[in-house]
Chains A and B, each alone.
Chain A
């Protein structure tokens, strides 16, 4: 750990991982509640086309990916609001188109090998530049601030859109906002976790947390703890074994999920037993 921190690039990578581990589950909890767990994947694929285009025309990959992902988010949201089945199909089309575009444009670009693309697909320890870091922190602060302001409205929307409407919430706007937040989060995480796996760090910590929690707030907070732990531990392992950080982080998150699921099973069984005992006691009294 100490040796790892003596490298400048590792300090930057670690800070980026902390940012990703914090904001991803915060967005993921709303996506899971809205049953949009795969939306982050769609955003990641669109962002990949952005990276390919950036290689081709020579712009900076992060802003280009952000613009593409944001446009993709808005288009997906419009299609989804029209019809549920069309939304599902649109998501599928976006998956294929995103990957195809990313690989196609990267191949066209001169001097960019598949290694360059791989760094964006599965994350890389060495690609977080100081300039990127500033952008990441600004984006993360923006995401958290937006959640602070609109979080309650997004929660109500995710609970039931009709109910949200009858509380004066502009449901289509708030829904769009959540999709754009997901797009921003995907781009924030693409350096560390990679575009193919960024969605996992939004969803898996939440899936793990809800094995043990009884409230939305607790799920979100525990999700952040598990997300942070996965990112920091994954980065450390990645450094020591010289493997890409994305898959390592996701493996650790999945391991935490398995542990939480097992623990949840035991805890629930104990509760049930206790309830049964107390019911018998009440009935007997």
Chain B
């Protein structure tokens, strides 16, 4: 694959032009209400370009709501949120931001092939046709997660871990430099976790910004440069924000599990180069 093709296919992560002047995400005094009650309030958070940040917390700590607010999927009832310096409501440069949901909402309703899912990453409102660059990007992304051979299979015929890798391929195919992942390691096998870690350590080295929301870091504990722990005691708030590992008493639940998973047992030395 020539470098030119890679460029056309939008596969060069962090190949962007703002020079890192703006933070990737910038939340100021944010509040989100759900059924009249604040999920969190007066929350400020800044994610700088190139950070590999993990938001940890138990169910109900508001971590998923925080992630959705940062992406503009959940409206703020007060405060403001910006993506690379643009108010989230007016943000249009979505090719830079890739969101990886835990699973697709409609998985299994109508058969959808792996390739169709990954190619849909190249759909944009102002573009009518899918070109060769789009197809190349989808192929490269699927090869990176080692699922090119399964491209014609139904998505729901794949294992949970493989489906998560398809969603990662979707994000890669987009050509983004900011990645937001919802529970990337929950319930997936070690082989898939190992492959995800490989992909994301490359992305980190290329300068991509990664924000993941999880209750257990798993393989990502080796990669994270910053940990944000949210807790639900009293007003939900940030209990810790700093380099990993989080203090044991705060992230007992979260950290306990991730220590079990990482470092991963390698099946054999043969797979390593």
B21 an interface residue at 8 Å Cβ cutoff? no
Listed stretches B100-108, B191-199, B218-226, B256-264; interface member:
B100-108
Identify the interface centre among A152, A159, A217: most chain B CB within 10 Å of its CB. Answer: A159
Asked whether, in the complex, the Cβ of B110 is within 8 Å of the Cβ of A168, the reply is no
A169 an interface residue at 8 Å Cβ cutoff? yes
Given contacts A163-B104, A215-B111, is CB(A152)–CB(B71) below 8 Å?
no
Nearest CB in chain B: distance from A248 CB, A: 26
A76 an interface residue at 8 Å Cβ cutoff? no
Listed stretches B5-13, B45-53, B91-99; interface member:
B91-99
| Alpha-carbon distance between A165 and B174 when the two chains are bound, in angstroms | 14
B159 an interface residue at 8 Å Cβ cutoff? no
Please tell me the number of chain B residues within 8 Å of chain A, measured between CB atoms: 35
**A159 to chain B: which residues have CB within 8 Å?**
104-106, 112, 117, 120
Asked whether, in the complex, the Cβ of B104 is within 8 Å of the Cβ of A215, the reply is no
| Alpha-carbon distance between A79 and B99 when the two chains are bound, in angstroms | 27
Asked whether, in the complex, the Cβ of B106 is within 8 Å of the Cβ of A167, the reply is no
| Alpha-carbon distance between A162 and B128 when the two chains are bound, in angstroms | 21
Contact with A along B97-134 (1 / 0, CB 8 A): 11101001110011111011100110111001010000
A90 an interface residue at 8 Å Cβ cutoff? no
A210 an interface residue at 8 Å Cβ cutoff? yes
Nearest CB in chain B: distance from A62 CB, A: 30
B253 an interface residue at 8 Å Cβ cutoff? no
| Alpha-carbon distance between A35 and B106 when the two chains are bound, in angstroms | 8
A230 an interface residue at 8 Å Cβ cutoff? no
Asked whether, in the complex, the Cβ of A214 is within 8 Å of the Cβ of B101, the reply is no
**A80 to chain B: which residues have CB within 8 Å?**
none
| Alpha-carbon distance between A160 and B180 when the two chains are bound, in angstroms | 15
Chain B, Cβ-Cβ closest to A218? B111
A161 an interface residue at 8 Å Cβ cutoff? yes
A280 an interface residue at 8 Å Cβ cutoff? no
Identify the interface centre among A34, A35, A156, A214: most chain B CB within 10 Å of its CB. Answer: A214
Asked whether, in the complex, the Cβ of A214 is within 8 Å of the Cβ of B92, the reply is no
**B99 to chain A: which residues have CB within 8 Å?**
162-163, 166
A185 an interface residue at 8 Å Cβ cutoff? no
Contact with B along A25-47 (1 / 0, CB 8 A): 00001001111000000000000
A143 an interface residue at 8 Å Cβ cutoff? no
Contact of B113 among A32, A34, A158, A214 (CB under 8 A): A214
B73 an interface residue at 8 Å Cβ cutoff? yes
Contact of B94 among A168, A210, A216, A217 (CB under 8 A): A168
Nearest CB in chain A: distance from B193 CB, A: 22
A238 an interface residue at 8 Å Cβ cutoff? no
Asked whether, in the complex, the Cβ of A214 is within 8 Å of the Cβ of B105, the reply is no
| Alpha-carbon distance between A167 and B115 when the two chains are bound, in angstroms | 18
| Alpha-carbon distance between A169 and B72 when the two chains are bound, in angstroms | 13
**B121 to chain A: which residues have CB within 8 Å?**
167
Contact with B along A194-218 (1 / 0, CB 8 A): 0000000000001000100111111
Chain A, Cβ-Cβ closest to B99? A166
| Alpha-carbon distance between A216 and B156 when the two chains are bound, in angstroms | 12
**A34 to chain B: which residues have CB within 8 Å?**
106, 109
| Alpha-carbon distance between A165 and B73 when the two chains are bound, in angstroms | 7
Given contacts A152-B120, A169-B123, is CB(A160)–CB(B111) below 8 Å?
no
The contact sample of 5 A-B pairs, CB cut-off 8 A, is A32-B109, A166-B73, A215-B154, A216-B113, A218-B111
Q: A residues engaging B (CB < 8 A)? A: 29, 32-35, 149, 152-153, 155-156, 158-163, 165-170, 206, 210, 213-219
A155-B116, A167-B94 known, 5 other contacts, Cβ within 8 Å = A165-B73, A166-B98, A215-B112, A215-B115, A215-B116
